[in-house]
């Protein structure tokens, strides 16, 4: 059954980082379809303009803010521009991120530093910068961090990615506790594999994609779930449900689960 319109999104300005592809792109389209105004952030101006054209062609409205790289200096400059131009922001969806599947002994430290900059530090910087803005208004505001089931259920050949997502989940949980008396909602979205371009870099030989293809989430379904949760009091979104059940069992019986799911964990 199709879920109805989320009227709380109507005319709300919502920032989406990593909006040019995959989950971010679908979330932006879904927000516009609900009458919201997605603020699109990504490194590809060409893809952002293409997305903006698609949204506007469907009678939606959006704003485009390309960024050359997710460095601290570039983000500071961009945030100042957004605040000066938009005046009022209602939500932030930290979606930008990437991963690389490799063993610890193969980790490229420069690549790892970039992964933490994009997956963790950029998201924290955006959240910290907009937090005072969100807290000064009485109306409901929302920060959503797209995390991963990898933050809860670590597997081999993903140490850097798992560590970055574990850090972001920890940050999200702390931010939620620190703002619990306010009108700000803080939500983590913990996803299993999603059928996007993420794996072009993470899984260059395609082995993992081939092994888990039948379990992959569709980005449109993820986007619908996220947008219907905007401006509601939602602590977490966990997809798919069976992977969340597995992560709970892993926290309770880690040694047993590592043995029982060894073949599944080794599919990378």
Q: Catalytic residue numbers?
A: 161
Distance between CA 14 and CA 183 in Å, rounded? Answer: 16
Q: What tokens were used for 55? A: 């949204």
Distance between CA 144 and CA 95 in Å, rounded? Answer: 8
Neighbours of 32 (CB within 10 A): 24
Distance between CA 169 and CA 59 in Å, rounded? Answer: 35
Distance between CA 83 and CA 139 in Å, rounded? Answer: 18
């Amino acid at each position: 059954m199709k879920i109805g319109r989320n009227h709380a999104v109507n005319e709300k300005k919502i920032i989406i980082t990593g909006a040019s592809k995959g989950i971010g792109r679908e979330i932006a389209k879904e927000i516009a379809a609900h009458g919201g105004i997605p603020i699109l952030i990504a490194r590809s101006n060409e893809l952002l303009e293409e997305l903006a054209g698609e949204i506007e062609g469907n009678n939606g409205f959006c704003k485009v803010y390309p960024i050359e790289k997710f460095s601290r200096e570039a983000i500071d400059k961009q945030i100042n521009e957004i605040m000066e131009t938009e005046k009022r922001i209602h939500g932030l969806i930290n979606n930008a991120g990437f991963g690389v599947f490799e063993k610890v002994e193969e980790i490229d430290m420069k690549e790892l530093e970039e992964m933490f900059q994009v997956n963790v530090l950029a998201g924290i910087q955006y959240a910290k910068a907009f937090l005072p803005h969100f807290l000064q208004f009485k109306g409901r505001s929302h920060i959503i961090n797209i995390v991963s089931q990898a933050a809860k259920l670590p597997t081999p050949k993903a140490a850097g990615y798992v560590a970055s997502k574990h850090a972001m989940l920890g940050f999200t949980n702390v931010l939620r506790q620190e703002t619990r008396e306010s009108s700000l909602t803080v939500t983590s979205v913990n996803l299993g594999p999603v059928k996007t371009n993420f794996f072009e870099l993470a899984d260059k030989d395609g082995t993992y994609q081939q092994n888990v293809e039948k379990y992959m989430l569709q980005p449109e379904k993820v986007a619908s779930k996220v947008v219907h949760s905007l401006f509601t009091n939602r602590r977490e979104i966990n997809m798919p449900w069976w992977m969340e059940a597995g992560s709970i069992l892993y926290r309770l019986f880690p040694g047993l689960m590592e043995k029982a799911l060894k073949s599944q964990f080794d599919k990378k």
